[in-house]
Amino acid sequence: MRVRLVSVFTLLAAICMICFAIGIGMELASSRTQAMVIDRIQVANQFAATASVDPARLEGEAQSYFEQTGNGVLVIAGSGTVMVDVGVNRADPRVIEVSHNAHRFIPPETLYPWSTHPMVVGQPIGTSQQAGGVVVIAISTSATRRGITDSWIQLACVTATALLAFGGVALGVSGWILRPVSKLRRDVDALTSTLPVRRAEPGGPRSRGRGPREIVELAVGVASITRAVADLAAAERKLVVDTAHSLRNPLAALAVRLQALQPMIAQDHASATFAGVVSEVDRLTELLDGLLASAVADAAPGHAAARSNTSDCDAVAVARDRVDAWHAAFQRADMTLTLDATTEVAEAGVPASVLAQILDVALSNSVRYAGRDAHTAITVSQECESVVVSVRDDGVGVSPDELDQLTTRFFRGAQATAGGSGLGLPIAATMAAQYGGLFFVDVAEPCGLVVTASFPAAVAPNLTSG
């Protein structure tokens, strides 16, 4: 592709420069021809002046001029008598035409290196109204044609040098531009060779004629990688869902059998062990439920598709409902839960069920890990074009080094107590992103943790009175 681009650019530059050089060459030939004609007309005027003043000197000067320059001189008197004839063919039609029309200027033809005919100029003796004869000079054009040829050779050398320089610059620039493309293509080829998805042929009917072959191959490789990544992601989600579903059935059966055993060992010393086994079964069930929720959240459509199929909600009303629902749980944990709303209504572009689930995750973590006598507050505010909902507690919090990992699946902080799957915050972050929201976890001041979700504010209908 690099050579192809250089060839195209060099060809375009060559066409432009050749056209430019041809124009300059024609102008050089024309200017040299005009200079030669003007010089010979001046010589003819000198001979005409000599013929009028001192005819006796005319023949000697004409002979000397012919020997020095090789240009013939013909002087004809007004009576038709030939006064001087040195090196001129009087039978030449051009000589006859110039002799009869000496008072009228006839533009000469432009000389080129391949021109062979001599050039003839004539000047009248005296004025054009009272012409006393005519002076005709047959000009040898060999020296002028050699000069034109030399100028053209120099022009051709300059043009060829410029083309070589342009080609070198174009080669270097194209190499600099295409070097990342070549490296990317090699990396893509190396990666696609390991993919389980069959790579499409670059010369297929859809890709044919759509650009350079290298770019087409790169596009095909990227498409193959994209398709493979999408297939792998779908396979991963399917594996999680299938695994979770498969494990739930034996866990459910185990839970049923444990419940059947409970009356039999109620008075036995193994009751504590039995309670621990039931707790672990409940924890595994919670973990599988979290995996299922995570897989469903990852497989949900993106923001644009989800936003078009959902309704907005009043974030204040949702937060008030969650405070009522979690009030008893916080009382049992010797904690307090309050709502702090800076506005009465805050319409957010997210479904009420999604916002409620996000708040449930934050409230569940708070009631489980904040500690006794901690205070948790739900804050709802509207800032510019966003609705911000946060859950803040003044409990034990987490280490700042662990903040970035709290939204990582299965991560549980060093201060975490027994229970929990490490999937709640990652699921909440995924659900917030699907509806164009932002999700943050940060350290609260002076202590504790704050979980914040921000969503675009719903556009209020434009009501105008008729």
pLDDT computed for residue 3 by the predictor? 54
Q: What average pLDDT does the segment 115-126 reach? A: 78
Lowest mean per-residue pLDDT among 316-320, 389-393, 418-422: 418-422
| Main-chain phi, psi angles of 206, to 5 degrees | -80, -30
Confidence of residue 196 (pLDDT cuts 50, 70, 90): low
The whole-number pLDDT of residue 300 equals 57
Residue 137 near residue 107, CB atoms below 8 Å: no
Asked if the model's pLDDT at residue 200 lies above 60, the reply is no
Query: How does the average pLDDT of the chain come out, rounded?
Result: 77
pLDDT class of 164 with cuts at 50, 70, 90: confident
pLDDT value at 392 more than 90: yes
User: For residue 387, what pLDDT is reported?
Assistant: 93
Inform me whether the pLDDT recorded for 72 exceeds 50.
yes
Instruction: Please state, in angstroms and rounded to a whole number, the distance separating the CA atoms of residues 4 and 6.
Output: 5
Instruction: Show Cβ contacts of residue 280 under 8 Å, excluding neighbours closer than 6 positions.
Output: none
